[in-house]
Every structure is written in structure tokens, then in C-alpha cells.
A and B are shown apart, each in its own frame.
Chain A
Amino acid sequence: MTDFLEVKDLTMRFGGLVAVDSLSFKVAHGSIHGLIGPNGAGKTTTFNMISGFYTPTSGQVLLRGEDISGLQMHEVARRGVVRTFQHSTLFAELTVLENALVGTHMPFRPNIFAAIIGWDKEDRSGAEARAKEALEFFGLDHVMHERAGDLSHGHQRALGMAVAYASHPDVVLLDEPFTGMNPEETRQMMDLMERLKADGITILIVEHDMQAIMGLCDNITCMSFGKFLAEGGPHEIRNHPAVIEAYLGGARHVA
């Protein structure tokens, strides 16, 4: 396992507030890495900086040694780092298949002139095959022609991951994928992530659901009030005094 994605001294200030304060951690290739911390710890801000949604105030995000901080979101995506969003951010008005087809934008870049003349048949069928493959992977092929906005919550979350998966990503950033799921759905989602990992995809998760995180992650970074707190395997993190202290009060309910 080599260092694949590295966050180095990443800092984000909103006015006087330091949301993330010189955070550093490394994500190994092919692993599932968790980013946890109490509410307001700056997890999502970190996430947004890695994915290019925010430009960090200072610090670097290195992908295979290349600094990708400050790039626009689509440029980060084109380098293989694809994110999902909190809640069900989907193209609600489009069908499930169309959602997945948008996900194939990168491997099958549309060309307007070829599209007018009709010379892009191969690309179109390729994109459709890939989209269907992604939907099948997440068990959504039976709802292919439904409107995405009409799907159940669990299916919508799965579709969000299918859209990301359709683009052949190297790294998937999952923003709270287990929110609002019942234990059964959580278990199914964990299976899917294991399968993504088996596919060679590196996963970085921001999550509140400790049970899922502990059962899934190879490595966990814990942060609190924007600062690095601890890092290690699930067992170490569970018993780390600083982590327990940070969660104190909520610890019994969260864990």
C-alpha cells in the first residue's frame, strides 16, 4: 500500500473562524479510510477542500504527489477523485439511467459535432453499457426507468454512489453515506463499499455512524475542532483516550 492521497497542513479560515487547522493525513491506495469527529469538527470542510468545492486557505492536497488543491471540482474529478454529496443530491427530474449516464461523462466525453451527424453511436452505446453496469452493481437495474426523485431514500443514496462509480474513479469521497438508513440498509451499503474496495477503488468516508465506520475502515483519522486528534485502526481509535474525551457525553450514544 502506497501513499496515494495525502493531505498536508490543510487550513481553511472563514473570516475569523478557523474551520480546519493544519490538518495532515495520508490515505493508502486501495484502502477504506474514515474521517470522523464530533459535530463541527471540520470533516465536511476538509472533504470540500479535497474535492475542489472550496479552495483551502493554505496547505496542500496531493494526489499521486501532484498538488490538486485549488483546482475546480470538475478538474479534480477528471484526475480520478469523485465525490458524493450529503443527503440525496441527484438529478431528481431525470430517470435513474440518465443519472448514471451523466456519471459516464468523463470516460465517454460527448462531442457535439459527432452527436449532430450521428458518428457517436459507439460512444453512446459504450456509455449506456457502463451506466447499466454501474446500476447493476448497486442493484438498481430494476428501477432504471423510474424518475430518480421517486426512488426510496436507500435507493437514492445507492444511485448517488452509482453515478460516482460510473465514471471509473480512483478515489471515491463519500459524504455521510449512512445518514438516515436503517441497520439493514446500512449493512447492504457496507457490502457495496467492500465490493468497491475489491474493485481497486480507494474510499474516503466522512461519517457519524460509528458502527459502520468501525466495521468498515482500514484506517481512521479523528479530528476535533478543526485539528488532528488521532489516527489508527478501528481498535486503536475505539480505545484512544483523546477520542473518547472528544466524544465524551455523546460517547455512549454514538459508539
Chain B
Amino acid sequence: MPKFLIWIAALAALIALPHGLSFSQQEILVFLTINVLLVASYRLLTLTGEWSLGHVVIMGVGAYSSALLTKKLGVYVPVSMLLGGVFAALIAVLLSFPLFRMKGFYFLIGSFAAGEIIRLLWKRFRDPFGGAKGIKGIDPMPDFSVGFYQFDFFEPTSYYYFAGVVVAVCLWILWRIEKSPVGLTFHAVHWQDKLAQASGVNVRAYRTLAFAIASGFAGISGALLAHYVGTINPNAFDIDLMVFVLTWAIVGGTATFYGPILGCVVLTVINEVVLRELGLEQMRPLIYGAIMILSILFLPNGLESIVQKFTQRRASNGAPERSPAE
């Protein structure tokens, strides 16, 4: 029961949170919610041992396709968001054919190249992608009412609630996948692909599956972003944001489901609250770099290892600690 109460309290805190914040902080909260989904979907890909540098571009694929579907075809916004995710997953399946001929470092570079090609296509083709200026005037999420609450999507608070529910559902699905036999197979593919294959696992298919699912959810996060900001352009999905995603994942730690989310939340809070207060936001890359180096040196298992230390002590079962080597 106490665990149940903790969840209720956390939910209440999340609902109350935007009311204690300024308008600009509420906007940051919306971005944070979207980024949580982005980084959590990235973790699913890392389960199979592959690190991609194209994840943010895939997020952009979701954003572009959802924006174009609403603008050109007049698709209802929530439906187009879902389709944006589906489209991102399909693009990932297509990309998997060249990319999964590679592993490890080569995959990393290959995914970066593939992402840049997609970004250049957006820049090159004014029609339909709008060239370097991107797409403007994307339809916002239509307002609606659920009886006790009137969603007015001009207000960041409303969008925060909406995005929060979408992200929560997505996170739940990701968590279910990870805890299922499919998730175990992802781990198996990561640690010993030869043995997994000898056990009848189609390694290539499982790599593609993880890549497609991760990309699908990244696409949904991109669509959430597009319909909130109302304008997207190729530079919004460049390598800078990808480096932030990597930093969140590494600082948070990727051994647990909540690690990357923790990294994303903590670094965003540090960035937006502490740095902005001190007027140091210009030095963000420098400070992010310093945090990353320090965390690799002193917290090789990420922020999640601190949480584990406390939860394990409370649970007091003598589960052996995981080795520091990832």
C-alpha cells in the first residue's frame, strides 16, 4: 500500500507542479516532458547494444510527417501525431537495411550519416518540407473539454497535461516491452548475439524491432513538439540536441529504465533553474561537458546508481551489485 500512496503523491505533485511556475518555466516543463519520452525511447534502442546518432532526426521525421499530414491533408491532430510515430518507425525499418549491416562504432557513424541525409533532404526540398526555414503555422492541438477541465492549448499548462498523459502512456508501453520476454531477448542480443542466435533468436529482426519501436516513440515525441511550437525547421533536429540526448542518457545511466529520465530531468533543472538564475546559460555546452566528464569519472553507473544504493539498502536483500563495466 505505501508504494501505491507514493505513486498518488507523485501524480498529485506532477499535476500541481505547473501552478507554482512562471510562464516561461511552464514552457520548459512542456519541453522537458517531451524530452523525457525522447530519451526513454532512446534507451530501448541501447538495450540491444546499439547507440545511434540519428535518433533526434528520427524525432524530426515524426514532427515533419505529423505537421505535413495536418497541413496538406487536414488530418485531425491527435491522429496525425500517432501517424507521425508510425511513419518514423517505418523510416527506421527502411534505414535498418543499410544500417544493420554495421555494428557498434560503425553503426554510430552510419546512423549519423543517415540522419544528416534526411536533414539535407528537408533543406533541399522546399516543397513539401519548406527548405531551411522549415514549416510554419502548424495546426495546434484543437481545444477540448473533459468536463472538469477545459483544455486551452494556448496555455502551456494545458499542453503539459496533454503531453504528460501521452508520454505516460508511451512510457508504460516501453516499460511493458522492456519487462517482457521481448525485452529479455533485447538484452540477450546485446550481451551475446552469437549465443542468442544459437538459441533461435533472429538477431537482425530483433535489432530492427528495437530500432523501429524506439524510432516510433521518438516520432511521437517529435509530433508533440511540432504541434506545440507550431514551427519546425531542419536545425531544430541537429546534432546539438543529439548530444544533449546522449548526455542525459550517460549522466543518468542506461542500466535501468528510469536512469535516462532521471538524467534528463536533473540536467534540465540544473540548466534552466541554476544556470539561468546565475546568468550562465551561454556557457551551457561547457558546463554540460564538465558534468558529463565528472559523471563518467565519479559516477560511472550514472545518477541511477545513487538511487539504487538507497533503494537496495531499504530492501536489504543481498543482491550482488552490477559490475562497473557497462
Contacts and interface: CB of A to CB of B under 8 A. Distances in A.
Interface in A140-167: 146-147, 149-150, 163-164, 167
A74 B201 contact: yes
Contacts of A83: 198
Contact of B200 (A101, A123, A167): A167
Interface in B154-192: 173, 176-177, 180-182, 184-185, 187-188, 191-192
Interface in A40-87: 51, 53, 72-74, 77-78, 82-85
Contacts of B185: 102, 105, 110
Contact of A74 (B191, B200, B323): B200
Interface string B184-226: 1101100110111111111100000100010000000000000
Given A94-B188, A110-B180, A115-B182, A102 B196 contact: yes
A116 B209 CA distance: 14
Nearest to B196: A102
B309 interface: no
Contacts of B213: 112
A74 B203 CA distance: 8
A83 B199 CA distance: 8
Interface residues of A, number: 41
B322 interface: yes
A207 interface: no
B202 A74 contact: yes
A102 B197 contact: no
A150 B197 contact: no
A90 interface: yes
A110 to B, nearest CB: 4
Contacts of B202: 72, 74
A191 interface: no
Contact of A115 (B181, B196, B197): B181
A237 interface: no
Contact of B199 (A102, A110, A115, A147): A102
Contacts of B201: 74, 102, 105
A225 interface: no
B191 A108 contact: no
Nearest to A115: B180
A103 B184 CA distance: 11
Contacts of A106: 199-200
A101 B198 CA distance: 13
Contacts of B323: 93, 149
Interface of A: 51, 53, 72-74, 77-78, 82-85, 89-94, 98, 101-103, 105-106, 108, 110-112, 115-116, 118, 120, 123-124, 127, 146-147, 149-150, 163-164, 167
30 contacts: A73-B197, A74-B197, A74-B198, A74-B199, A83-B198, A89-B195, A91-B187, A91-B188, A91-B191, A92-B191, A92-B192, A94-B187, A98-B184, A105-B181, A105-B185, A105-B188, A105-B196, A105-B201, A110-B180, A110-B185, A112-B180, A115-B177, A115-B182, A116-B177, A147-B320, A147-B322, A149-B323, A150-B320, A163-B195, A163-B199
